[in-house]
Amino acid sequence: MQKTYVLDTNVLIQAPYALQSFEDNHIVLPLAVLEELDGLKRAEGETGANARQAIRFLEALRLKGSLIEGVCLPGGGSVRLEVNCTQEPLPDGLPEHKNDNRILRVCLGIRRQTERVILVTKDIVIRIKAQMLGIEAEDFTTEQAPVSEMQYTGRNEVFVPEDLFSDFKKKGIPPSAVYRTGPDGERLPVSLVHNQFLVLKADQSSRKTQLGRFDGKKIVPLVHRKKKPYGVTPRNTGQYFLQEALMAGTDQAPLVIVKGMAGTAKTFYTLAVGLHAILEQEKPEYRRILISRPNVHFDDDIGFLPGDESEKIAPLLRPAIDNLELLVDQDEEERYSNELTLADKVQELFDRGIISAQALNFIRGRSVTKTYLVIDEAQNLTPKQAKGIITRAGTGTKIILLGDPFQIDNPLLDERTNGLSYAAEKMKGSPLCWQITLSSDECERSALAMDAGQRM
């Protein structure tokens, strides 16, 4: 049975193609949505670009028929503008002039005419208001990743027959040979994902373990396990896997997605490998390290900050600079004895062009070549932004998305709808994408950080 969906403006601002995502159902756009799109079309950055894209699509539909009466969509279903429903009563305390409440009023009016109406909005508060009014409401689910417990982690633990375990480093292991155990001790098959990292346990002695990766054909040993990029040594299993993904060449791993809580050394290790690839190799692998960090206020506020582009985004890159301080002076006893000297060492990396920083707005539309591109705090990306960044990869570029899906600043994103989780699920199984999720017990920041991460 066909359904009627009423769309909020924020759905189109995050996903301007959303009008084509409801199959053969009916879509209603309240007049308030059209007015908000008009007000946002000149906004800077992603917001303005998406508003204009949505408006252009509506204009294409207008040329085919009357949007007031309804126009058929290319993929089925229809869309129409609702200009009536202005007299529907609202409870006291909901101001009639607010656009959110005007949208709710449209839902109430349409509900009198049809069996089922569903409000689609990214705004949690509007969904709560809708429930108060007895209106069915939901998030835009087209871009949702699975619930956090079901999301791909890029790693697994399996058992291996003893005879294959001993020859692993020479011959590798066929995927059909590994297994996990069920509740009654029975052997259960394991479905491996291309580039999935594995902790291999000998089935006759569970204390014997080795680390490997499924290359699409067989399980192979880690190639870079014994290396120390920029003097850094892995401290736990997750960091061994992380090092392997980061040090793999762009022909093998042009995209690396790393998820993990604060303190698991995501940014630190990523920068260490980048510096190693440029400064410690006889022939540098990349021209430079390019760092960017999405921020929910980038589009609105960056123009009002003083200085050039690098100076404007410097405050947002302070976490990366903190990690660079640890890397350029690894003597923990003397590192902070002279703050000015330490700052000069970090600044030299920027002055020499080894590291540069750019806002995401300036990356969009470019083809980035032979660059080690680090996107920190990628959980604040929208799915469209994540796609835009990944598709910017030119020849010899490695893109690393870092973030914690549970630490999101964007009010319209959550652990299922952010660009980091979206990209991780969409790129799962790609031979060109390596992923790893670092666990809370792999936190290396401090004992307090680890304890707080597990307790809080």
What pLDDT, on a 0 to 100 scale, did the predictor assign at position 132? 93
- Local mean pLDDT, 10-residue blocks, the chain (456 residues): 93 92 94 96 88 96 95 93 86 87 93 88 94 94 85 95 90 95 90 97 86 97 96 95 98 97 92 97 94 65 55 72 86 68 88 88 75 95 91 92 92 90 96 96 75 69
What pLDDT, on a 0 to 100 scale, did the predictor assign at position 448? 74
b/e sequence 423-442, b meaning 16+ C-beta within 10 Å: bbbbbbeeeebbbbbbbbeb
What pLDDT, on a 0 to 100 scale, did the predictor assign at position 438? 95
- Reported pTM: 0.84
d(CA 404, CA 241): 17
Beta strands at 371-375 and 398-403: parallel, antiparallel or unpaired: parallel
Beta strands at 371-375 and 288-292: parallel, antiparallel or unpaired: parallel
d(CA 15, CA 100): 19
d(CA 167, CA 147): 38
CATH says 232-455 is which class? Answer: alpha beta
**Same fold: 4-138 with 145-221:** no
**CA-to-CA separations, 379 to 69, 108, 192, 302, 334, in angstroms, rounded:** 40, 35, 26, 20, 35
Contact 243, 264 (CB under 8 A): no
What pLDDT, on a 0 to 100 scale, did the predictor assign at position 334? 64
What pLDDT, on a 0 to 100 scale, did the predictor assign at position 300? 44
CATH architecture of 4-138: 3-Layer(aba) Sandwich (3.40)
Spatial CA neighbour of 313 closest among 288, 289, 293, 342: 293
Tell me: domain 145-221, CATH 2.30.130, correct?
Answer: yes
Domain ranges for the chain, please list them: 4-138, 145-221, 232-455
What pLDDT, on a 0 to 100 scale, did the predictor assign at position 89? 86
AA letter at 284: P
d(CA 414, CA 412): 7
| Beta strands across the sheet bearing 117-120 | 71-72, 78-82, 26-30, 4-7, 117-120, 136-138
Spatial CA neighbour of 196 closest among 415, 404, 401, 437: 437
Contact 204, 224 (CB under 8 A): no
Q: Which long-range contacts (CB under 8 A, 24 or more apart) does 218-221 make?
A: 218/172, 218/173, 218/174, 218/175, 219/168, 219/172, 219/173, 219/174, 219/175, 219/178, 219/192, 220/172, 221/168, 221/169, 221/172
AA letter at 217: K
d(CA 6, CA 108): 11
What pLDDT, on a 0 to 100 scale, did the predictor assign at position 180? 93
Q: Report the DSSP beta bridge partners of residue 290.
A: 356, 373
- Looking up tokens 């900050």 gives 305
What pLDDT, on a 0 to 100 scale, did the predictor assign at position 263? 86
